[in-house]
Amino acid sequence: KKELLKVDGLKQYFPIKGGILGRTVNHVKAVDDISFTIYEGETVSIVGESGCGKSTTGRAILRLEEPTEGKVTFNDTELTGISKREMRKHRKDLQIIFQDPYASINPRQTVSNILMEAMTIQKSYPRKERRKRTIELLQTVGLNEYQADRYPHEFSGGQRQRIGIARALSVNPKLIICDEAVSALDVSIQAQVLNLLEDLQEAYNLTYLFISHDLGVVRHISDRVIVMYLGKIVEIGDKLSIFDHPKHPYTKALLSAIPVPDPTREKIHIPLRGDVPSPIDPPKGCRFHTRCPFAQDKCRQEEPLLQTYVSMGEDHQAACHFVEEIERGQLKPKDYRS
């Protein structure tokens, strides 16, 4: 497996200004020291409730927002160490697709102009070939040449997302970050777009970082899954480990909220109570302790490290002091209803 993207100790703190002098009085710790690797050709998802740092992570990788600390290495180039100008050259290798493609495309341009513009900016195709390439791209994403001279508003949400995908593909990227890319679509259209993404991955050896709060979508598309909570990675593993053998109480709670595909399988229900606490002053110790039904004194004092426990496979890690005790049933969830 070739390492394509390596994120090392990434932090993204946003200053909060206050007082009459407008000084920085505090920080929103949106991403707080996370590390992970993505290998070529795989799909890694980041899941978690909104406000857990998923999108911020995607934006920091692309330096759409300058990371506060940490290293991002892509294909042996340290992106965090190069100039903004040099970074633009690498932007053809790393593309991003957003939830609402309409928000990031110019409504007054035809589809073919939108695609040709992307190719022009990245100088990825000689001028004469751009129109031909545009038609090919439309066909690749399931649209046709007769749609090339139409405007974005003439397309449905799913078609617009296909245009967004075509635009990302137009520069031959290696990695595509999909930030809630199918979240706004109806379930049946979602499945079509996910299938398209999978076909394109096969055809062009693409690597995806898939950011989503929707675990059904994540189960469909991922090879590996990263679970984030309040700026930290709390669990990481291959899809089956995460969905069938989750170890972190937060992951278990997220999964409790979605239907089980196999209803004969026993399912422990862990309710996810309340909201995500503020990332300005995250809880001490384990950040999940204020909502965790297993929390002990140790959880309120010591931060658990992301590690592999005895009951886990080697590529599976969780950050919880009591993985084994919970696994063996020695620690029972507290009943919060009382």
Sign of CA dihedral 275, 276, 281, 282: positive
Q: Is 36 in the site for ligand SF4 (CB under 6 A)?
A: no
Q: Smaller CB distance to Mg ion: residue 104 or 195?
A: 195
Query: Per rule CB under 5 A, is residue 161 in the interface with Mg ion?
Result: no
- Measured distance CA(28)–CA(56) in Å, rounded: 11
CB-CB neighbours of 97 under 10 Å = 24
Reference 255, options 149, 241, 184, 108; nearest CA is 241
**Chain residues 190-209 in contact with ligand SF4, contact rule CB under 6 A:** none
233 binds ligand SF4 (CB under 6 A): no
The whole-angstrom separation of Cα 22 and Cα 154 is: 46
* Interface with ligand SF4: number of residues (CB under 6 A): 13
Minimum separation from the CB atom of position 336 to ligand SF4 (A): 13
Q: Compare residues 30 and 141 and give the one whose CB is closer to Mg ion.
A: 141
Q: Minimum distance from CB of 235 to ligand SF4 (Å)?
A: 10
Distance CA 311, CA 322 (A): 12
Contact 43, 208 (CB under 8 A): yes
- Rounded to whole angstroms, the Cα distance separating 159 from 137 reads 13
The nearest distance, CB 201 to Mg ion, in angstroms, is: 5
Report if residue 43 touches Mg ion, rule: CB under 5 A: yes
Are 330 and 313 within 8 A, CB to CB? no
Binds ligand SF4 (CB under 6 A): choice among 30, 167, 304, 316: 304
Partner whose binding site includes residue 294, from ligand SF4, Mg ion, none (CB under 5 to 8 Å by kind): ligand SF4
Q: Using the rule CB under 6 A, is 288 a contact of ligand SF4?
A: yes
**Shortest Å, Cβ 324 to ligand SF4:** 11
Segment lying near ligand SF4 (by CB under 6 A), choices 40-48, 87-95, 194-202, 284-292: 284-292
Q: Which of 231, 254, 224 is nearest to 317 (CA)?
A: 224
Residue 275 DSSP label: P
Judged by CB under 6 A, the residue of 230, 239, 294, 316 near ligand SF4 is: 294
Query: Helical H runs in the chain?
Result: 54-61, 84-90, 111-121, 127-140, 157-169, 187-204, 215-221, 239-244, 249-256, 297-301, 323-327
User: With respect to ligand SF4, which residue has the nearer C-beta, 8 or 327?
Assistant: 327
* Binding residues among 306-325 for ligand SF4 as defined by CB under 6 A: 320-322
Query: What is the nearest approach in angstroms of ligand SF4 to the Cβ of residue 2?
Result: 34
Contact partner at residue 243 from ligand SF4, Mg ion, none, CB < 5 to 8 Å by partner kind: none
The single-letter code of the amino acid at 287 is: R
Identify the three-state secondary structure at position 19.
coil
CB of 305 to ligand SF4, least distance (A): 10
Residue with Cβ nearer ligand SF4 (254 or 299): 299
Distance (Å, whole) CA 98 – CA 94: 13
Report how far apart, in Å, the C-alpha atoms of 213 and of each of 53, 170, 240, 248 are.
Answer: 11, 27, 18, 17
Report the nearest approach of ligand SF4 to the CB of residue 255 (Å).
Answer: 14
Encoded amino acid at 226, one letter: I
- Does 141 contact ligand SF4 by CB under 6 A? no
Query: Closest distance between Mg ion and the C-beta of residue 115, in Å?
Result: 25
Give Cα 216 distance to the centre of its chain.
Answer: 14
Residues forming contacts to Mg ion in the complex (CB under 5 A) are 43
Residues forming contacts to ligand SF4 in the complex (CB under 6 A) are 248-249, 286, 288-289, 292, 294-295, 299, 304, 320-322
